[in-house]
Amino acid sequence: MKRIAIIGSSGGNLYMQGGNNPPALLGEIFTQAASAGIEVGFVEFIGATRTMDGIPPDSPAKLYLLDGSGGVSAGEQKELQAVNADARAEDAKLAQMIQEGRIDGLILMSCDPTGTNEASIKAAAEKKLPCVGTGGASMANTQKLGANVVAASGTTGTTNRTRAVSFVSSLAKEWKLKYRPVIGKTAGGGVEANVWKRINFRGIMMASLPGFIAMALTLAISKIPGLGGLEDVFNALIEIIPVIVAAIAAKQISGLDEVGIVAGIVAGFLAKDGGLIGGLAAGIIAGVLAYYIIILCFKWKVPGTTANIAAGGIGGLVAGLVGKFALAPIALFLGNGINDLISAALSYNAVLAGAIAGLLIWPAIIGGVYHAAILPIVLLEMEAAGFSFLGAIDMTGLVMVSAGITLANVVFPRQKSDAAAALPGFLINVCFGTFVEASYPFMFSSKLVFGSALISAGVSGLFVGLFNVKGTAYVPAVMAPFMANPGKGFFFALCMLIAMGLAFVLTAIANKVESRKALANVEH
């Protein structure tokens, strides 16, 4: 196994590009190195509390070193000049390790080749160790000392992740090691190296939801007398919804943080005529292209700054042009088709449509269909009008039913411990319009309570259809009626109260029945 040393400082420009958070910066290198089978055998990194461009010698700083557990720990905060003295002592140790053949390569970030890090870099030059790094002036001075620099770059436009990938890619190529960059996460938080498996519609939609809520809030506020001018803001927000979705999609799929966001914004803006679906498609393409472009750039030893520009700029531009000229008409047709289908169902029999939607909403969320199918449709409806039929079903059939079930278990619990467990769920559902899972323990432990949820959701959905109510969830219950379609606020509130009240009564009855059964079994 190859062993590397990481040396340097939080730097001048680097400080603004991730150097202000040494644990995150170094942690990214550890992650990428591990993926290539490279061991980090030494760390000597000076982290200051400000950029080092013109920094006074008495500025606070810390020295980060490799600890006994294989991680990095910070030393005592001291004046920079004192930390530099400590770093020189550590650098002498590193030079000795290099001379003894215990280090195979160096990663340099805004290091000081003519001062603090002179000993180690001279030793690396003598041994012809491959060196990679960033920092224009410091890397130039490193090369002057005769070091074998196999990859050098500036820091402008780079991120902790893209720098780390660049470093390890160059070293892996030099040592002919197999390396797959680790630049993405699965929905569960684990590492997912395959870019195609990082396409997660649920994650994209949930992350984009605040933009839709902002749009709905703006629409509601614009109805207040004297604030009608906010309708222009609402219309502007509708236009940027595809951009938001594209940016989130590109960031998550590419795994390139700011670079992915830029690619998504460019792609989403160009493809915005395709609406939410067009933005989603363009963002996915931008994320995939940005990933492959930056991998190719690092494979060809393109400097980090240029690689970031290519991934974010070219990836976003190509995806945006494809979205604008090829996908937008199709995406707009699909989006309009879904909205038209919902409108047709409501026109045919709104009461029946509401009742069916209410009955199916719980099986959908329990079965994992909600976030994959229903939430995107809710967002499509909101994009078109600022409120949604299925959004109203969500608020009444899920949120308020869950609130009713949890409240019943606070007031009439089957056992005393249920009350303490149910109260937080009730408060979160009412105050934030989410966390319907709080009622799962009570639903799954009692068929009667489960049936109560289905009945309550179905009945409330029936009234949503009867009153032609449209709205949204994910907002406080007291705010939801004000975000309904015009003239329907009172009816939305009524539907919400029906849902919660019915769920409360049926759950309370179910708890009484279950308690009597349990008592009878004990007596027998």
What's the pLDDT tens digit per position in 367-406? Answer: 877 877 788 888 888 888 888 999 999 999 999 999 999 9
Strongest mean pLDDT among 60-69, 279-288, 368-377:
279-288
Q: Where are the domains positioned within the chain? A: 3-175, 197-335, 387-523
What was the pLDDT predicted at 202?
Answer: 80
What was the pLDDT predicted at 524?
Answer: 55
- DSSP characters for 331-352? HHHHHHHHHHHHHHHHHHHHHH
Q: How many helices (H) and strands (E) does the chain have?
A: 19, 8
Higher pLDDT, 310 or 222: 310
DSSP 368: T
22 neighbors 59 (Cβ within 8 angstroms): no
What type of residue sits at position 59?
S
What was the pLDDT predicted at 398?
Answer: 95
- Rounded Cα gap, residues 25 and 414, in angstroms: 52
What was the pLDDT predicted at 181?
Answer: 83
Give pLDDT tens digits for 421-479: 899 999 999 998 888 989 999 999 899 999 999 999 999 999 999 999 999 888 899 99
Q: List the one residue out of 252, 289, 235 whose CA is nearest residue 267.
A: 289
Exposure of 505 by Cβ count < 10 A (0-12 exposed, 13-18 middle, 19+ buried)?
Answer: middle
What average pLDDT does range 62-72 have in this prediction?
A: 89
Give pLDDT tens digits for 104-121: 999 999 999 999 999 999
- Rounded Cα gap, residues 255 and 290, in angstroms: 9
pLDDT at 283 > cutoff 80: yes
Element (H, E) at 130: strand 130-134
Exposure of 225 by Cβ count < 10 A (0-12 exposed, 13-18 middle, 19+ buried)?
Answer: exposed
Give pLDDT tens digits for 318-343: 999 999 999 989 988 988 898 889 88
The number of CA neighbours under 13 Å toward the Cβ of 404 is 32
Please give the structure tokens belonging to residue 188.
Answer: 């569960």
pLDDT at 41 > cutoff 90: yes
The alpha carbon dihedral of 331, 333, 338, 343 has a sign of positive
Mean pLDDT score of the chain: 90
| pTM for this prediction | 0.75
| 492 pLDDT tier (thresholds 50, 70, 90) | very high
Give pLDDT tens digits for 157-198: 788 888 998 999 999 999 999 988 886 553 334 444 578 888
What was the pLDDT predicted at 522?
Answer: 62
Q: What are the φ/ψ torsions at residue 38 (nearest 5 degrees)?
A: -105, 135
Q: Which residues contact 408 (CB under 8 A, 6 or more apart)?
A: 503, 504, 505, 507, 508, 511
Q: What are the φ/ψ torsions at residue 46 (nearest 5 degrees)?
A: -95, 120
Q: What are the φ/ψ torsions at residue 182 (nearest 5 degrees)?
A: -100, 100
The alpha carbon dihedral of 395, 396, 399, 403 has a sign of positive
- Rounded Cα gap, residues 425 and 427, in angstroms: 5
252 neighbors 200 (Cβ within 8 angstroms): yes
pLDDT at 221 > cutoff 90: no
295 neighbors 306 (Cβ within 8 angstroms): no
Element (H, E) at 295: helix 275-299
167 neighbors 132 (Cβ within 8 angstroms): yes
What was the pLDDT predicted at 186?
Answer: 39
What was the pLDDT predicted at 518?
Answer: 72
Taking the C-alpha atoms of 34, 38, 39 and 43 in order, what is their torsion angle to the nearest 10 degrees?
-90
Domain 3-175, second-level architecture: 3-Layer(aba) Sandwich (3.40)
- DSSP characters for 3-70? EEEEEEES-STGGGGTTT-HHHHHHHHHHHHHHTT-EEEEEEEEEESS--TT--TTSEEEEEEE-TTS
Higher pLDDT, 181 or 89: 89
Helix axes 275-299, 160-175, angle to 10 degrees: 40
